[in-house]
Amino acid sequence: MSSVINVVLPVFALIFLGYLCRRTGRMGPAGASELNRFVVWLGLPALLFKITATSTWSEVWQPGFIAAFSIGCLGVFSFTLFYRLLQKQPLVDASLDALGASYANTGYVGFPLCLLILGDAALQPALVATLVVVCVLFALALACVETGLHAGQDFGKTLAKVSRALAGNPLVLAPVLGALWAVGGLELPSGIKTLLDLLGAAAAPCALVSLGLFLAQPQPSGPVRGVWPLVLLKLIVQPALTWYFAALVFELEPLWVYSALLLSALPTGTGPYMLAEFYGREGSRVSRVVLLSTLGSLITLSVCLYLMPV
């Protein structure tokens, strides 16, 4: 329990600091948007480029783990997306809800948690899970959002606009360029690596402070509907589904099973909130999913750790 608290407490502290800065007037109403733009255009792309550019094929290609983890997050994403569409929700908003229910915080919480619980060997599955979340799940959500924004147009024109939007999106472009760099087999120059380290290290705190700034802004009166189903999908359904495939279907080694369980049981990361803010959509529901899933993960992760014989 103390290990979980030690990892999650800084996350809450950064959110609270952002909240406090907005409430006391230390940062203005545009602070959340501006910090979020920094994360989307500089911080997170630098982190993604460095991860992919410095990875080897043997580190990334773990088919059983990739399949189990992907089934968990993409299964929850697909179920939520189609359910929201059946409720007559616009594709853009349904995509954001689906991302909120399936986007594990592997980058900000996953790496330190796996390191604390399972040791250095667990950093490899944490890396693979992060690539799946950001390069596959996040890219899929972006494609759905862009498709929803251009709905009703000619199919060819819509496809062209979606393709251009994805190709120009830094969160999709950065890992692709990083993978190409890795294929080339070149070492990153020390100056470039230092720059990427500095920008990447700023991504997590800025994203969390931005979330706190957003939460401090005046919110719509009354309860925000549809939050708890997304939280339950993230904290209970996704890890259960992932564990089933990792342990019983693909029969992975214990380290990879435990890593898959922990990483899929993580709370919702700030990615869905950043995307909602970036596209100017209503962020109330997704911000509450991030907050409540982070709170709830103290319980669900503790249960996972109790059941793991490590």
Q: Which of residues 281 and 85 earns the better pLDDT score?
A: 85
Tokens of 57: 């094929």
Question: At which residue do the structure tokens 């230390």 appear?
Answer: 26
Report pLDDT for 158: 66
* Residue range 198-240, pLDDT digits in tens: 998 888 788 888 878 877 877 655 567 889 999 999 999 999 9
At 154, the amino acid letter reads D
3-state secondary structure of 201: helix
Closest CA to 273 of 223, 207, 204: 207
Separation of alpha carbons 130 and 301, rounded Å: 18
Percent of the residues in the chain that have a pLDDT greater than 90, as a whole number: 35
- Considering the chain, what is the average pLDDT of its residues? 85
Q: What does pTM read for this prediction?
A: 0.80
Tokens of 41: 């255009």
Q: By the 8 A CB rule, do 209 and 15 touch?
A: yes
* Residue range 43-95, pLDDT digits in tens: 888 987 888 888 777 777 889 999 999 999 999 999 999 999 999 899 999 99
Report pLDDT for 152: 66
Separation of alpha carbons 286 and 270, rounded Å: 9
How many alpha carbons fall within 13 Å on the CB side of residue 223? 4
Report pLDDT for 206: 87
Separation of alpha carbons 23 and 180, rounded Å: 44
Report pLDDT for 148: 87
Other C-beta atoms within 10 Å of 16: how many? 15
- Average confidence (pLDDT) over 97-102: 95
Which of 120-134, 141-155, 249-263, 270-284 reaches the highest mean pLDDT? 249-263
Q: By the 8 A CB rule, do 230 and 101 touch?
A: yes
In the chain, the domains with their CATH numbers are 2-6+53-215+225-307 (1.20.1530.20)
Q: By the 8 A CB rule, do 237 and 37 touch?
A: no
